[in-house]
Amino acid sequence: MGRALLISLKVLAINIPLLLFLGGGIGWVLAKKNFPGRDLLHLILQLPIILPPSVLGLYLLVGLGGSELLREAGFLFAFPAAVLAALVSSLPIMIQSTRAAFAGVNRETEEAALTLGRGPVTVFLKITLPLARRGLLVGLALSCARALGDFGVTLMIAGNIPGRTQTLPLFIYSQVESINFARAHTASLLLIAVGVGSLYLVRKLEDGAHERLV
């Protein structure tokens, strides 16, 4: 179980910065920029939430398998594919949360900061980001829990290779298959603890959000 836990943590560690920058960036663009096709893009980016993981995995497999380069590099059924699988299933959650968080920052507040002579970058760092912070952290907590728990997409594109792509959820599956319930329970409890922990964090953050913003 130690190896599966380690792989899960490694997948998560790589995913956190990706979620922050990619999810945060896309969320910001969707919230603050007006361009043709924005709503369509938003819809497409939300698709992974409602599609069955196996469907998502299948098309990722077909898409990635079609690329000579990725096949040669041994991307599929290896650790990078496990990272991608976790990202694909958790990114929409992060995008959704950050979009809401950035949209919740009053435009006039940002405009006031501009008219005080501060450039767009300073305004983003000093005003927009701190005001959206709680929403971003909520998104991060929820999407990390989702990334950690991914099963279907990982199985489809990374496989279930112990020591290489077997994350905790896949480990549980394998233990149940070999009727080793005790170890399955231990791993499950660990994941439950992470889930409950992140929900608790989200709750705390959302309570705190009402404090200052009257």
Q: How far is the CB of 214 from another protein (least distance, A)?
A: 4
Q: Encode 149-204 in three state secondary structure.
A: HCCHHHHHHCCCCCCCCCCHHHHHHHHHHCCCHHHHHHHHHHHHHHHHHHHHHHHH
Complex with another protein: residue 87 or 123, whichever CB lies closer: 123
Most distant CA pair in the chain, distance:
67
Task: Give me 12's structure tokens.
Answer: 């998560």
Task: Give me 128's structure tokens.
Answer: 């927009």
Close Cβ partners of 114 (under 8 Å, ≥ 6 residues apart): 120, 123
Q: How far is the CB of 133 from another protein (least distance, A)?
A: 9
Complex with another protein: residue 74 or 130, whichever CB lies closer: 130
Q: How far is the CB of 36 from another protein (least distance, A)?
A: 17
136 and 98 in contact (C-beta within 8 Å)? yes
Complex with another protein: residue 115 or 178, whichever CB lies closer: 115
- Burial classification of residue 78, based on how many CB atoms lie within 10 Å of its CB (0-12 exposed, 13-18 middle, 19 or more buried): middle
Q: How far is the CB of 210 from another protein (least distance, A)?
A: 11
Complex with another protein: residue 133 or 185, whichever CB lies closer: 133
Close Cβ partners of 129 (under 8 Å, ≥ 6 residues apart): 136
Q: State which amino acid sits at residue 131.
A: L
Complex with another protein: residue 126 or 185, whichever CB lies closer: 126
Q: How far is the CB of 122 from another protein (least distance, A)?
A: 8
Residues that bind another protein (CB under 8 A): 106, 108-109, 111-120, 123, 126-127, 130-131, 212-214
Complex with another protein: residue 16 or 114, whichever CB lies closer: 114
Q: How far is the CB of 139 from another protein (least distance, A)?
A: 18
